[in-house]
Each structure stands twice: as C-alpha cells, then as structure tokens.
Amino acid sequence: MREVTVFPAAMLLLALLSLSLSTAAESGIRLEGEAAENIRARLQAVRPDLPLVGLEPAPVPGLYAVEFEDGSVFYATEDGRYLIAGDLYEITDDRFVNRSEDLRARHRAEAIANLPKEDMIVFAANSEQRGVVTVFTDVDCSFCQRLHLEVPELNRNGVEVRYLAYPRAGVGSASYDRHVSAWCASDPQTAITRLKAGEPIEPRTCDNPVAAQFELGRELGVRGTPAMYLGDGRYLPGYMPAAELLKELGL
C-alpha cells in the first residue's frame, strides 16, 4: 500500500510565496542571457527573498524551468511576466512522462548522495551490491515495520538498504528519543530491528544526525513513511514488497 499526497498547484504556489527565507546562492542556475536576466529580475523585484536555485530551458520552447530551494519547480515565460504552477508532462506514443519530476529527482539524488553513509543505519547486501535503496523510516510506523521484514530478502538479492531517521511525531517527541537511542546504540542494526518489532531498547543519547535527517526529509517532500529513494532520485512513497521493489530497481 502506498500513501500519496497531492497538492493543488495553487496551494503549492501560495506556500512557496509565503516563504521567508534568505536568498540562496544561485549555484544551480544553468541558464544565462536575456531570458535568465528577465526571469531573475521579475522574481527579485516582487520577492527578493525567494530562494531561487535553478533556472534552465524547459522542454517546451519559450518556457524555462525555475527551481526553488524546497524542490518546487515552476515554469516562466522568457520575458519573466508569467509564472506557471504545475507539473509539465510530455505525451509520448504510449504514456505521459512527468518532466518536472526529472528535475526534482535530480535534486533529491544530489542531496542524498552528499549524506555521510556513517550517519545512516545500513543493512548491506549479502554478496555483490546490485542496488541501493535509501529509506526515510519511522520505527513506530506499521508500514515501516512491514518493510523491515523485507530487508533480508533485499539483502539476499544484492540490495543495500540505508535508513535515515524520520520520526513523524517530530523533534523532541518520545518517538524522536527512540530514534536517537537506535542511532546511538553500539549495534544500531539490532537496535532498530528490535524497535520495529515493538521491543524496547536501552535509552541512549550522543551526537547524532536524527534531527538533521528529519529536516532533510521535510525539505525533500516526505509526507509519510516509509519514503524510499533510488540512486537516480526516484521517489517511491509507502510500503512495497521486496519483489516489487526489485522490479523498480531493474533486478
């Protein structure tokens, strides 16, 4: 079973425009010239604090993809007068292809690739590694517990499972404390397995990445757990049996 949350485009735009963030570095901008200057100038004239991080030509002539720090993607006309909220789909011979998701996936892949592996709880492949799944997990989530039962099968098929903490109750909650105890345990793999089986573990604390991982999950758009990400940034929301996940990985 998968949980998918859909936000109307107007709500997304309203949420974005209500942000009060400092201007981010424009290191991700991949477009120069008159159109880029028009779009940047229009956005900054109205809201100079909008965290613009990406700007590049869209697949549709005359439109440009505008990416913000929270991963939202909008489309602007080359004169910068119009900003379009919503995903851009290409109609191929046999299906609809979400081209906005391509940009979001790239952003997610880069963010996850930059995470230190030692900050994760990792269940390595039993033999040659053939794939990696990074999972934002909540030890108290029933679907996360079901997914954890699939981990041995994934490991047997060469898939490494990397857990990131996402206590849905939030930082400072009792659930958050359980996550910290797992990440701080001398044997994190055993600790998280016990928690997911409903068993208590010794309360512990240490310098840990739980709060930072929770915040990253929010930035990447995690709305429920488990939230799985593949190496190319593809997002697989909700529980998925090992056999289905292996197909997604092409194994």
Percentage of residues in the chain having pLDDT higher than 70: 86
Q: How confident is the model at residue 191 (pLDDT cuts 50, 70, 90)?
A: very high
Average pLDDT over the chain, rounded to whole?
A: 85
With a cut of 70, say whether residue 12 has pLDDT above it.
no
- CATH class of the 9-112 domain in this structure: alpha beta
Which whole-number Å values give the CA distances from 52 to 30, 59, 183, 195, in the listed order? 12, 20, 34, 40
Q: Report the predicted TM-score, pTM, of the whole model to 2 decimal places.
A: 0.74
Q: Alpha-carbon torsion 69, 70, 73, 76, what sign?
A: negative
- Is 9-112's fold the same as 116-248's? no
Lowest mean pLDDT among 12-16, 116-120, 136-140, 205-209: 12-16
Q: 99 vs 109, which has greater pLDDT?
A: 109
CATH superfamily, domain 116-248, is: Glutaredoxin (3.40.30.10)
Structure tokens at 100: 């906005």
Residue 214, CB half-sphere, CA atoms under 13 Å: how many?
Answer: 19
Q: 10 vs 64, which has greater pLDDT?
A: 64
Amino acid at 204: R
* H or E segment and range at residue 121: strand 121-123
Residues recognised as catalytic: 138, 141, 144, 168
Domain boundaries along the sequence of the chain: 9-112, 116-248
Q: How confident is the model at residue 140 (pLDDT cuts 50, 70, 90)?
A: very high
Helix then strand count (H, E) for the chain reads: 8, 11
What gap in Å lies between CA 57 and CA 44, rounded to an integer? Answer: 19
Q: Alpha-carbon torsion 36, 82, 5, 14, what sign?
A: positive
Residue 232 CB contacts under 8 Å (≥ 6 apart), including other chains: 105, 109
What gap in Å lies between CA 168 and CA 61, rounded to an integer? Answer: 42
